[in-house]
Amino acid sequence: MKAQKRRFVISVCVLVVIVMTAASLVACATEESALKEKYEQAGFAAQSFPFVQAEADKELVDFAYHGIKNANSSNIQQIFVITFKTIDDARKYYDAHVADTDKPNMTRYTRAVVYGSAEAVELY
């Protein structure tokens, strides 16, 4: 009887680990999708992310988003969102680039570093 209980407990533990792993993967995808949708609704068009220009190591990044609004006018707005895999990587990037003049309005939110036009950063 004890062997059956032990197998049951082990089975439940394995199932919990599988469910938690799946939930964490879905949460990351949902966060990225929600971010893109939020900016698209505000009139931003998604662009390919310029990792070289941003001086961000792709290996350290979970996902990145670059959006642009009013591309053909004098009131161009841009947003750059870099979500790092760890908070430490985000902190290091922020500390190294917060004073860069080509990265205005830089803010860090846990694992995410956001910069661009003031209105776009506020929307984040």
Q: Which long-range contacts (CB under 8 A, 24 or more apart) does 98-107 make?
A: 103/54
Its domain, for residue 82, covers 2-123
What is the edge-to-edge ordering of all strands in the sheet holding 112-116?
45-47, 61-69, 77-84, 112-116, 107-109
- Spans in the chain with pLDDT lower than 70: 1, 3, 6-30
pLDDT the model gives residue 17: 53
CB 59 within 8 A of CB 85: no
pLDDT the model gives residue 20: 52
pLDDT the model gives residue 119: 92
Q: What residues does 84 pair with on adjacent strands? A: 61
Can you give the pTM of this predicted structure?
0.72
- CA–CA distance, 84 with 110 (Å, rounded to integer): 9
Number of structural domains the chain divides into: 1
